[in-house]
Amino acid sequence: MAEPLLSVRDLQVRFRSGGQSLRAVDGVSFDLMPGQTLGIVGESGCGKSVTSLSIMRLLPSPPAMIEGGQVLLQGRDLLKLSEAEMRKLRGGRMGMIFQEPMTSLNPVYTCGDQIIESLRIHSGLKGKDARDRAIELLTLVRLPSPEKRVDDYPHQLSGGQRQRVMIALALANDPAVLIADEPTTALDVTIQSQILDLMRDLQDRTGTAIMLITHDLGVVAETCQQVVVMYAGAVIEKGEVQQIFQDPQHPYTIGLMAAVPRMDTARGRLATIPGAVPPPWQAIPGCRFAGRCPLADDRCRKSPPPLRPITAGHEVACWKAPIEGARA
C-alpha cells in the first residue's frame, strides 16, 4: 500500500481572545494519499478552513495557537519548520486555492506578474521563459485569450476567470499537494461545474493530490474518493465516498444526507438538524453532537466517543454505531 503524502495527526488549534480560549480544531487526524482527492465536509464554523490554514501555517499567531499534533508532508513535520522553510514549500510543493480570489490576488499587479513571481521564486524562471510559462498555465486552466489576460489586473476579470488564475497560480510549480478551500462557493452553478471539471482534468494530467474543503455534499460525491466529516472542530466520521454516502453511521452525517434536496422526493419542507452547534468556548464533557442528537443518552452526554472502525476503512465517533465485527 502506498504511503500517505500528507498525514495530519491529532491537530489541535485554539484562538485566545479576551482571556478566553476558543476551541477551533480538536484532535483532527486524516491521511491524503498520492493522486487522491480527499473531501473535508461540515457546516460553517466546524473547523475546515482553520485545519487547511494550519497545514499551510497561515494562521496569525496570536491569536491562533497550534497547541499540538503533527502535519507530516512525506514524513516531514511542517509544524517544526521555520517560517523561511515554509515559504519555500508554499507555492512550491504545496499550493492553495482560496475561497474568494478577489481578496487573495494582489489588485495592483497583473495576473501574469503574480504567476511569474511564483515561478521566479520556486522554479528560477525569468524573463520571456517565465512569461511563456505563465501563458501556458493560463491556457491549461482554459482562460480565454491567455496572451491578453496575462496582462490584465484581477478587477478586469470575472469571478470564474479570477478563480482560474488562482488555480494556475496554485499549480505553477507542480505541487504535490493542492488544498482547495471552498473553490466554487462564490461562483454560479454553471461556472462551479466548469471549475470542478477543470480540477479533475488537471489532477489526471499532473497527479496532484487534492484536499477539497466544502459544505456541498454533491461536490464531494462528484469529485472525491475519501471523505472526512467534521463537527465542532473534530472528525466524527471518515471513510470512502461510497461508504459514507451509502451507509452513513453518525447521526450528524445522516442528518446532512437527509437535508440534501432531491428531485425524486415529494414536494415539502426540507429535513433539518434541530438545535445549533455548541459555541467554541463551551466545555463539552461527552459527544459534542449530543445536544442535537435524537439518539443521545447519558453515556453520550458524559463520555466522548472515540473514532472507531465499523468496517474496513470506515470510522465513526458514535457510541450507537456498531463496531467492526459486530454488525449483523
pLDDT tens digit sequence for 1-16:
678 999 999 999 999 8
Mean pLDDT, to the nearest integer, of 197-212? Answer: 88
- Compute the average pLDDT of residues 208-212: 94
291, 235, 212, 46: CA torsion to nearest 10: 40
Torsion angle defined by CA atoms of residues 215, 286, 324 and 235, in that order, rounded to the nearest 10 degrees = 30
Minimum mean pLDDT among 28-32, 276-280, 315-319: which range? Answer: 276-280
Q: Which three cell numbers stand for residue 289?
A: 453532537
- Mean pLDDT, the chain, as a whole number? 90
Q: Please, how many CA atoms are within 13 Å of residue 126, restricted to the half-sphere of its CB?
A: 1
CATH of 6-93+175-316, one of 3.30.420.250, 3.40.50.300, 3.40.50.2300, 3.40.50.720: 3.40.50.300
From the list 173, 289, 312, 191, the residue with the least C-alpha distance to 240 is 312
Mean pLDDT, residues 191-206 taken together: 84
Give the domain ranges of the chain.
Answer: 6-93+175-316
258 has pLDDT over 70: yes
Angle at 201 between CA 183 and CA 219, to 5 degrees: 40
pLDDT in tens, 278-316: 888 888 899 999 999 999 999 999 999 999 999 999 999
Rounded Cα–Cα distance for residues 222 and 304 (Å)? 32
**Confidence label for 266 from pLDDT (cuts 50, 70 and 90):** low
What pLDDT sits at residue 65? 93
Residue 327 has a pLDDT of: 46
Parallel, antiparallel, or unpaired: how do β-strands 37-41 and 209-214 relate? Answer: parallel
